[in-house]
Amino acid sequence: MTFIDWIKQPWPWYVAGPLIGLTVPTLLIIGNKSFGISSSFRHVCAACVPANVPFFKYDWKKEIWNLFFVLGIFLGGIIASQWLSNPEPIELNEKLVSELKGYGLSNIDGLLPNEWFNWSALATGKGFFLMVFGGFLVGFGTRYAGGCTSGHAIMGLSTLQWPSLVATICFMIGGIVMANWILPFILKN
């Protein structure tokens, strides 16, 4: 097995988890930065459409490191999916696979169900709801909570902040309710 074949396998949790945890001290050490991703949305808004909203009226250039960081994540995603992707199909829990088949999904390749998330599906009611309304909720919730999942769960919990613990618990509850009760209802119809 060559190195590239080895690296192409899915990375186990005990490799990925500690590496993600180490991002926090790395950013603190190289530039005294608090790890966070969703602030970049705000900086982009402040840079592109400040629209006289007080929330966006600040010197976004002082936070430009965050945009460089997010650019890196984007490029890393491209590299990993273009050249390091796993040739084998994803190993999923059988229960989930049979449940998804029940909703009419036949193809479980890739990172998301291509049959439901594609350009032509965007024109259908269900697709529009899942992608556009879902995206709206992600943006709204992130701002309402003052941070996204990674900011609150990784940086917030690492620095022992109570609001982040509350946010993380709520993210989990929201996800459990959505995945178990609301999403099956949407997919059935």
Partner 1 sequence: MQQTTQQEHTLRSTDAMCVNESKLTHRWYHHLKYTLVGLMFGIIFVKAEIISWFRIQEMFRFQSFHMFGIIGSAVVVGMISVWIIRRFKSKPFTENRFIYKLNHSIRGIFMEP
Q: How far from chain centre, in Å, is Cα 120?
A: 23
- The nearer residue to partner 1, 27 or 121, going by C-beta atoms, is 27
In the complex, least distance from residue 122 CB atom to partner 1, rounded to whole angstroms: 16
| 72 part of the interface to partner 1, by CB under 8 A | yes
> Restricting to residues 93-122, which ones interact with partner 1 according to CB under 8 A?
93, 95-96, 100, 108, 111-113, 117
In the complex, least distance from residue 49 CB atom to partner 1, rounded to whole angstroms: 17
> Restricting to residues 144-173, which ones interact with partner 1 according to CB under 8 A?
144, 146-147, 151-161, 164, 172
In the complex, least distance from residue 123 CB atom to partner 1, rounded to whole angstroms: 20
> Restricting to residues 36-55, which ones interact with partner 1 according to CB under 8 A?
36, 39, 42, 54-55
| 187 part of the interface to partner 1, by CB under 8 A | no
In the complex, least distance from residue 125 CB atom to partner 1, rounded to whole angstroms: 20
Whole-angstrom distance, CA of residue 45 vs CA of residue 25: 28
* DSSP-assigned letters across all residues of 13-75: HHHHHHHHHHHHHHHHHHH-----STHHHHHHHHHH--TT-GGG-S-GGGGHHHHHHHHHHHH
Q: Which amino acid is at 66?
A: N
SS3 content of the chain, % helix, strand, coil (to 5): 70, 0, 30
Cβ atoms < 10 Å from Cβ of 154: 20
Residues 59, 88, 98, 120: which binds partner 1 (CB under 8 A)?
Answer: 59
